[in-house]
Amino acid sequence: MRYEGDIYRPPSEAYSYILQCTVGCSHNRCTFCGMYKNKKYRVRDIEEILSDIRMAKLYYRHVEKVFLADGDALAMECTDLVTILDELHRQFPELRHVGIYTSPDSILNKTPEELKTLGEHGLTMAYLGVETGDEELLKEIRKGVTYEEMVAAGRKIREAGILLSVTLVLGLAGRTPKAVDHAIKSAQICNEIDPDYCAALTIMPVPGTVLYKQIQQGKFEVPGPFEILHELRLIIQNLEVTGCEFRSNHASNYLAIKGRLPEDKEKILRLIDEVIKRNNADYLRPEYMRRL
C-alpha cells in the first residue's frame, strides 16, 4: 500500500486497514490543528486507490474494518466514493465497517440522496470534529462554519443512516472564564445533534500552528489538568443525548473515561468528582505519556 505523508486515524480505527483516498485536509485552517500542515489537499487518482485496494487484498486477505483517510475524504465526488466502497466490498466480502473523516462543509455540500447512497454502499461511520459549541470560539479557531451549520451537518449524516462520531476539544477556550461557556455550549451542540458517539480530546500545543504562536506571544494560556477535568465534568453534566457512547480515552486526555449516556452519566460524574476531590496528579495520565 502507498501512503503520502503522516497518516492519522481515530482511536477506534486502530485495527482498520487505512486507505488513503485524499491527501491532507480540504479545510486545513483550524488554529489548533497541525495534522496536515505539510500537505496540500488533493484527491488521489481513483485508479491508484483501486489498485491499493487490490494490493491490500494480497497482503491482508481478511479485512473487516477500513478507514478512509486523509482528513476529509468525504469531500470526494460521491460517484468516486461509491466506486471505492463497492471495490472494498468486492475484495473483502467480510467487510462490516468503513469509517471516514469529514468536515461540516463536505457534509453540507452533499445532497441527502448522495449521503444515503454512500450509506447503502457500505459507509458506516463518519467522524466529525465539532470542537466546540461556542459560536465565538468557532470563529476564533477558524472552523469555517457557524453553530447552526455544524448542527445541520451532524443531523444530515444521521438522517442518511450513517453512524456519527463527534469530537470536542477540552481546553480550547484557554485559561479564561470563557471555558465555562465552551463546556456548556459544547454539551448543548451535542444535544442538538444527538450523535451515536462523542469523544473528548484535550488541547495540546503543536509547533507551527496559530495556537502555538498565540501561546508564545502570551495570548493563550493552556489550562492545567484539573481545570480540564472541571471542563469535562461540565460537559458530561449538561449532556442530554440518547444512546450515545462517550469516550475520553484519546492519548491527549488526562483521565480515560468511557460509558454510555444517559445510563452511565451519574457514574462518570462520581468518578470525575472523586479524582478532583483527591487533587492528586497520580490519578492522571502523566505529561510524558500524552500524545496527539
Domain that includes residue 35, residue range: 11-280
pLDDT score recorded for residue 129: 96
Structural domain total, the chain: 1
pLDDT score recorded for residue 288: 87
At 127, phi and psi to the nearest 5? -105, 120
Dihedral angle computed from the Cα positions of residues 225, 8, 124 and 252, in that order, rounded to the nearest 10 degrees: -10
pLDDT score recorded for residue 38: 84
Residue 288 included in any domain: no
Residue 201 included in any domain: yes
Q: Say if residue 28's pLDDT is above 80.
A: yes
pLDDT score recorded for residue 205: 93
Structure confidence by residue, pLDDT tens digits, 80-101: 999 999 999 999 999 999 999 9
Cell of 226: 484539573
Residue 285 included in any domain: no
Residue 203 included in any domain: yes
Residue 3 included in any domain: no
- Decide which of 199 and 37 is more confident: 199
Handedness of CA 184, 109, 201, 269 (dihedral sign): positive
pLDDT score recorded for residue 291: 85
pLDDT score recorded for residue 208: 92
Q: Say if residue 61's pLDDT is above 90.
A: no
- Predicted structure pTM score: 0.95
Residue 58 included in any domain: yes
* Cβ within 8 Å of residue 164, ≥6 positions away: 125, 126, 128, 154, 157, 158, 193, 195, 196, 197
Q: In this structure, are strands 22-23 and 97-102 parallel, antiparallel, or unpaired?
A: unpaired
Q: Say if residue 1's pLDDT is above 80.
A: no
| 247-266: burial string, b at 16+ Cβ within 10 Å, e else | bbebebbbbebebebeebbe
Residue 4 included in any domain: no
CATH code for the domain in which residue 167 is found: 3.20.20.70
Mean pLDDT of the chain: 96
Q: Say if residue 280's pLDDT is above 80.
A: yes
| CB distance 191 to 184 below 8 Å | no
Establish whether the linkage from the previous residue to 262 is cis, with ω within 30° of 0: yes
Residue 68 included in any domain: yes
